[in-house]
C-alpha cells in the first residue's frame, strides 16, 4: 500500500501507537507520520505509507490548526490537565480573552514544556523530568498565524509546525494573572489536509497518491526516464530549486538545482 492516509487519532494513543496499529492491520512495515500528537490529543495525523515515506522531506505545507480548551486555576508540570499540579491560584476573569490571544500572533520565542521530546544536550526533556533533574529552560522559535476565541475557555489557533499549544495555554495564564493549563486539544488541519478528510484506524483506507502530495513541485516528464533511474544529472531550462520528475503520470524522483540549467537527483521515489 503506497500513498497518504489521513487518520483521526483517538485520545489515549500515541502517534507511534497509530503507526503500530496500521502495521498490524495492513501487514507492512513502511509507515511514517508528519507530526506527533500528544497521547491525550485527537485529530489529524498525516500518515505516509510504503513508497510515500520517501516523500516526507518534501512536504512543505505542514502548518497546523488546532482547537484547544484551557482550564484556569491550576498549573501542572506537563502544562496540561494530565500532569501533576504544581500551583493553584484563585481564578481571575477580568480580561478580554480575544485581546490576550492576539498578543501571541506573529513570531514567538516559545518556552518548550518539560514534558516533551525536545532535546537538551542530546537527551529528551521528559527524560530529565522523569529523573527529577533540573535543566535550563529550552526555547524555540515558532509562528502563530492567527488565533481566535471560540468561547470563554476555547480557542482556534493556526500556527507553524513545532508550536506547543500547551505552552500557549500556560502563557495565557501568566498574561492574565492566572495559573492555567490545557484541558483538551484537537488538531483539525495539517497543511492542506483537514479533519473532514480524516478516517478512523478501523475504516477502509482512502489513500491519497504521492502525486497529490507533491503537486506543489513543478512537474517534469522527460521522454526518456532512464537517466533518472540511474541517478544521473539532468539539464533543464528551469529556475525552480526543486522539480519533480514523472513517468506515465507518476512521480519517480525529486531533483534539486545545483547550477544554471543543471539538476542533481535529490531523492528517488520508486
Query: Per residue in 192-226, pLDDT tens?
Result: 899 999 999 999 889 998 888 888 899 999 999 99
Q: By the 8 A CB rule, do 163 and 190 touch?
A: no
Output the pLDDT for position 73: 98
Q: By the 8 A CB rule, do 150 and 159 touch?
A: no
pLDDT tier, 252 (very low <50, low <70, confident <90, very high otherwise): very high
pTM, 2 dp: 0.88
pLDDT over 90 (residue 94): yes
Rama region for 259: left / alpha / beta (φ>0; ψ in -120 to 50; rest): beta
Q: Considering 2, 8, 17, 38, which one is annotated as catalytic?
A: 38
For the chain, how are helix, strand and coil distributed in percent, rounded to 5? 20, 40, 40
Task: Identify which of 194, 192, 214 has the alpha carbon closest to the alpha carbon of residue 7.
Answer: 194
Q: Catalytic site residue 38? A: yes
Output the pLDDT for position 6: 96
Between CA 254 and CA 51 the distance in angstroms is 13
Between CA 130 and CA 125 the distance in angstroms is 9
Structure-block grid coordinates of residue 11: 485520545
Three-state SS at 77: coil
pLDDT over 90 (residue 12): yes
To the nearest 10°, the Cα dihedral for 47, 48, 49, 53? -150
CA 16 to chain centre: 14
Amino acid at each position: 500500500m503506497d500513498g497518504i492516509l489521513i487518520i483521526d487519532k483517538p485520545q489515549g494513543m500515541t502517534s507511534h501507537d497509530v503507526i503500530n496499529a496500521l502495521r498490524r492491520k495492513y501487514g507492512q512495515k513502511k509507515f511514517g507520520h508528519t507530526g506527533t500528537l500528544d497521547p491525550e490529543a485527537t485529530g489529524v495525523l498525516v500518515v505516509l505509507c510504503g513508497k510515500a515515506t520517501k516523500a516526507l522531506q518534501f512536504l512543505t505545507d505542514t502548518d497546523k490548526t488546532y482547537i484547544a480548551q484551557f482550564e484556569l486555576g491550576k498549573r501542572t508540570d506537563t502544562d496540561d490537565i494530565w500532569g501533576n499540579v504544581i500551583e493553584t491560584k484563585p481564578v481571575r476573569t477580568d480580561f478580554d480573552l480575544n485581546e490576550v490571544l492576539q498578543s501571541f500572533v506573529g513570531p514567538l520565542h516559545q518556552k518548550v514544556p518539560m514534558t516533551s521530546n525536545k532535546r537538551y544536550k542530546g537527551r529528551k526533556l521528559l527524560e530529565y523530568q522523569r529523573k527529577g533533574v533540573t535543566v535550563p529552560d529550552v526555547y524555540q522559535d515558532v509562528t502563530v498565524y492567527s488565533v481566535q476565541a471560540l468561547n470563554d475557555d476555547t480557542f482556534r489557533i493556526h500556527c507553524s509546525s513545532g508550536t506547543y499549544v500547551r505552552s500557549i495555554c500556560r502563557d495565557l495564564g501568566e498574561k492574565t494573572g492566572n495559573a492555567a493549563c490545557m484541558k483538551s486539544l484537537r488538531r483539525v488541519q495539517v497543511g492542506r489536509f483537514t479533519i473532514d478528510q480524516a478516517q478512523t484506524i478501523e475504516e477502509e483506507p482512502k489513500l491519497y497518491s504521492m502525486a497529490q502530495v507533491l503537486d506543489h513541485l513543478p512537474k517534469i516528464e522527460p521522454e526518456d526516464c532512464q537517466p533518472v533511474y540511474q541517478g544521473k544529472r539532468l539539464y533543464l531550462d528551469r529556475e525552480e530549486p526543486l522539480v519533480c520528475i514523472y513517468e506515465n503520470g507518476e512521480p519517480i524522483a525529486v531533483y534539486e538545482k545545483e547550477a544554471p540549467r543543471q539538476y542533481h537527483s535529490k531523492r528517488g521515489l520508486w
